[in-house]
Chains A and B, each alone.
Chain A
């Protein structure tokens, strides 16, 4: 009984401490709400449709009825009509659309005459989850079209043929490599460096450090380079493990993949330093890092391509380093693109890194308050 009494006292004490620490309380209450709100904002409302290309080689009235049905299904958004199958596939290859729907010549005639015919869906296998979605939705649309049109044209059959680019099928290990690397190269360096300055503040070493004639840029760049050197070793090890032990497939040039990963690493360090410069203590810095990671996870294309989120979430997504990393990494790893093909993403990551560092220098106060 006495032991239980002591235990109860301990529990009461810890609950009291939690409730008397306003920051923890805010985290406990605000964090789930914020995450749910972000989730609803990004995924809750009517989902944006999947961008596809249509190649109508038939041109007849029946084919247009099928396209109309496709558009009204709400699952697809036709971003382009390509004149040839090759042009359509090229758009998918370039990442302008997740799939191309090719309607072959003579489609309308076949339907009217009750013969069997086909449509071809060309899927981007480098986005496994999306291509599965496209495939299923395409089959559903074609089936409902057959049902509706058979009343008018009599019985006929449309086969949905499946083709892929960057495929045929990407294994789940390959497909998730970008996600795993993204988490490792974003969250780990960011949370590590986020506590660096606040730790010096808490341990009082900051007070002595800023009694030397150092500038804030020296402190920021010094920490940045030191943490980069240490975490790069970590990154190389992770990479080696993925490629040589797990046998992850890399279609594009490995140096390009390493470059993009390095840029995310540096960008994460820059962001972490900014968090560190504004935080008053380690706990606050750590929580801020985690808090920042949540929108990164939801809106960067981690679970679902950003194009399929709500417009607001897309706008947020385009600010996130992870968004650019995931796009560039997937393109190099699964599509076999080179560094020049992801120049935009690379530039964005480099600019964000520079911006974070500059902001950190600006906000870092060489004072103890």
Chain B
């Protein structure tokens, strides 16, 4: 089942097309990353998905429910953690949680239980009587996520949860997201940190209001480069021996005795050993052979600079 089906979303502010024909299909139970630099249209896209903004054109269904027509039913199964801390700073941690438990229509006993659970899970018990405005950035984020989960949503939407957050907490958050996924929650997360996006099952790269590419992190990288990259260090020049093999030379560096060559192959894990053997069979001594790890960042830049 599709958790989110957003079709041809467009949002025009004045004359500016902030989001331009974005289509996203998010399968149930995955972590889906919306990736892109600031201003790419990520927040606008998720706001349209949540019905916080009315799309200029296009439509959104969440678990099959049309957001425009029946937003309230969507809200009952959707949790949202906005980019900026949006709870009441002049209420305490506990007051905020109780308020939202009531607003989501949790019964008294259920609310008690849920608040207790979440306070334990997100280490908020020590701060329960503190005003939300007096919390540190990390605790605020934990509270925001706890509140977003109060009503046990099936879909969690988080906008830049790790912006301005220190590395341990970033790691903590991604751990939480994976836990939630195990429990069957679908997660739509935006980020501009490319390294984090490796944690996602699928990502959509956004650039200037459009989806530049979509797929798993691995697929995205292969799409950007046209395959995987492996690097070989050999004695002598291996290039004549590569004739007829499914590998093309990207880079070559040689000092006469040893060479370093970067090759593009369709799939590194499949190609690395056979290719090395084949070269050795053709009389090339391979000193080292390894896959070159590719960054999503590099992939992103390649994919978006093509025009």
Contact = CB atoms under 8 A, between A and B. Distances in A.
A211 B87 contact: no
B82 A204 contact: yes
Interface of B is mostly: loop
Contacts of B53: 367-369
A73 interface: no
Contacts of B51: 367
Interface string A197-214: 000000111111111111
B54 A208 contact: no
B78 to A, nearest CB: 7
Given A368-B52, A369-B53, A207 B86 contact: yes
A213 B76 contact: yes
Interface in B84-98: 84-89
A368 B80 contact: no
Contacts of B173: none
A5 B194 CA distance: 47
Contact of A367 (B54, B86, B103): B54
B78 A205 contact: no
A212 B103 contact: yes
Interface residues of B, number: 24
Interface in B66-117: 71-72, 75-76, 78, 80, 82, 84-89, 100, 103-105
B47 interface: yes
Contact of B105 (A210, A211, A213, A369): A213
Interface centre among A208, A211, A366, A367 (most CB of B within 10 A): A211
Interface in A337-369: 366-369
A204 B88 CA distance: 9
Nearest to A210: B52
B50 interface: yes
A212 B102 CA distance: 10
Contacts of A369: 53-54
Contact of A208 (B72, B82, B105): B82
A361 to B, nearest CB: 16
Given A212-B100, A367-B54, A368-B52, A204 B47 contact: no
B87 A208 contact: yes
A238 to B, nearest CB: 26
A211 to B, nearest CB: 5
B103 A205 contact: no
Interface residues of A, number: 16
Contacts of A213: 72, 75-76, 103-105
A211 B79 CA distance: 8
Contacts of A205: 86-88
A207 B82 contact: yes
B134 to A, nearest CB: 15
B164 to A, nearest CB: 15
A184 B75 CA distance: 41
Contact of A204 (B54, B80, B86): B86
Given A204-B82, A214-B103, A367 B72 contact: no
A205 B78 CA distance: 17
B80 A211 contact: yes
Interface string B35-59: 0000000000001001111100000
Contacts of A212: 75, 100, 103-104
B47 A208 contact: no
A320 to B, nearest CB: 34
A210 B87 CA distance: 12
Contacts of A203: 86, 89
A198 B51 CA distance: 19
B80 to A, nearest CB: 5
Nearest to B86: A208
A213 B78 CA distance: 10
A369 B51 CA distance: 11
Nearest to A212: B103
Interface in A192-231: 203-214
A178 to B, nearest CB: 36
Contacts of A214: 103
Given A206-B86, A210-B52, A212-B104, 18 more contacts: A203-B89, A204-B82, A204-B84, A204-B85, A204-B86, A207-B52, A207-B86, A208-B82, A208-B86, A209-B103, A211-B52, A211-B78, A211-B80, A214-B103, A367-B54, A368-B53, A369-B53, A369-B54
Interface of B: 47, 50-54, 71-72, 75-76, 78, 80, 82, 84-89, 100, 103-105, 147
The 9 closest A-B pairs by CB, nearest first: A208-B86, A212-B103, A204-B86, A213-B72, A211-B80, A213-B75, A368-B52, A204-B84, A207-B86
26 contacts: A203-B89, A204-B82, A205-B86, A205-B87, A205-B88, A206-B86, A208-B80, A208-B82, A208-B86, A208-B87, A209-B103, A211-B50, A211-B52, A211-B78, A212-B100, A212-B103, A213-B75, A213-B104, A213-B105, A214-B103, A367-B51, A367-B53, A367-B54, A368-B47, A368-B53, A369-B54
